[in-house]
Chains A and B, each alone.
Chain A
């Protein structure tokens, strides 16, 4: 399994043709207490960069973009009951949705963990 990161603070775990997407620890830290996550419906299709989910903190609503193109095969139902999972475990149990990847070449421009850490350090 490989983990990729975007400069919009999403992470993507790729296993075969399935990509699991969430937001990074840096992102949840910046957003603060998360009170609601609006997830895409199964079967929804996204182009890379489309609005795919919305995360609501106490203060504000923020869009989460599809980091690559694909079709939603599953959303994380646990976030409906416990949106704070995104704060407590953003890069594991607080995942948002899984996509069936339509164009694996889109992964090429994304960062690995080391590059993302350096990117965040520069912010």
Chain B
């Protein structure tokens, strides 16, 4: 048989893979390492199903140090970034985080990202596989008086799951006061941390930026807690798919615009009206006329998963493609995300997906597939 365990590899092996601060730590924990986004990363420890379930029930520790952490300083950095991002950055309050998109001239998505305002800079987290392209694009389009620093000596850890709040608070009590999409500076055992209450699993959780040389010590402290286990990239993917969160390079790319991608929430009214950013014309047009194709969730009958690339059929004719899919451990059935022609994108539309000559019955389903359980501030 052909064993393909490294199918998440984003790069061919022609460029030597980099090592991240927790590399030896993952191996010591029994992590199976694969190439991902240019680094050797753990795809799993004890198994994807068990790690997925653990994160939904307890707290999982994810190493996401491959992601790009960028800092922007200089007078008017927020306004300058608004030329590149469709989000409200000038209106972003200190200690608040937002999801945003890096758009090209035609409104295609170059990357999706998190942006926060800190007391002394604007802090951005971008995808690992795209970070160097992002940096090039941003430098090309940002005025000279704005300084961008790639914080490549920082590690990034995510602690996710319903017990993550209590777990992190047992080490750093102040983090209990954060609500979803809030962030702030904290200190642990003499180490400066930047913590946001956010993540990529649909669960409550945190993302923690810290110096790379403190990452092993902090990961050990977290995993010494009964609630916390290390979780690999495999479960990260199945968790985010159930949460309906797109994966850049698969579910969204430069062909995709924010409206078709169902990410219109990242373009607030004020910016839709005023414009002044790359891609505005396409957003206005697609808001008025509708996007020609749309990102949708797909519930699949039976047990056979449909994977990325599978053709979606409507009335027997090609109507789109699956962009990510697999067996959903919490749902207990195969699910997928895909792009379909706008006429077939309504919730409840009956479609078929072709897998190895079989046609699987599929229905356009609301996302998330598993309800989000964020720790939101009650207003």
- Whether the pair A54, B303 counts as a contact (CB closer than 8 A) is no
Which of A32, A35, A62 lies in contact with B303, CB distance below 8 A? A35
A95: interface (CB < 8 Å): no
A56: interface (CB < 8 Å): yes
**Minimum CB–CB distance for B302 against chain A, Å:** 9
A61: interface (CB < 8 Å): yes
> When A and B form their complex, what is the total count of cross-chain residue pairs whose Cβ atoms lie within 8 Å?
72
The residues of A that contact B305 with a CB separation of less than 8 Å are: 35-36, 56, 61
A61/B1 contact (C-beta < 8 A), A33-B47, A33-B49 known: no
A59/B234 contact (C-beta < 8 A), A33-B48, A36-B303 known: yes
- Whether the pair A56, B4 counts as a contact (CB closer than 8 A) is no
Q: Which residue of A lies closest to B235 (CB)?
A: A58
A62/B237 contact (C-beta < 8 A), A32-B47, A56-B305 known: no
- Whether the pair B303, A60 counts as a contact (CB closer than 8 A) is no
**Minimum CB–CB distance for A79 against chain B, Å:** 11
The residues of B that contact A23 with a CB separation of less than 8 Å are: 1
Which of B8, B50, B334, B356 lies in contact with A59, CB distance below 8 A? B8
The residues of A that contact B303 with a CB separation of less than 8 Å are: 35-36, 80, 83
A65: interface (CB < 8 Å): yes
The residues of B that contact A8 with a CB separation of less than 8 Å are: 1-2
The residues of B that contact A32 with a CB separation of less than 8 Å are: 5, 44, 47-49, 234
How distant is the Cα of A60 from the Cα of B324 in the complex, in angstroms?
A: 11
Interface residues of B (CB under 8 A from A): 1-5, 7-8, 43-44, 47-50, 52, 234, 237-238, 303-305, 307, 326-327, 329, 334, 356
A-B contact pairs, 12 of them (CB 8 A): A30-B3, A33-B49, A36-B305, A56-B327, A58-B52, A58-B327, A58-B329, A59-B237, A60-B7, A61-B305, A62-B2, A62-B4
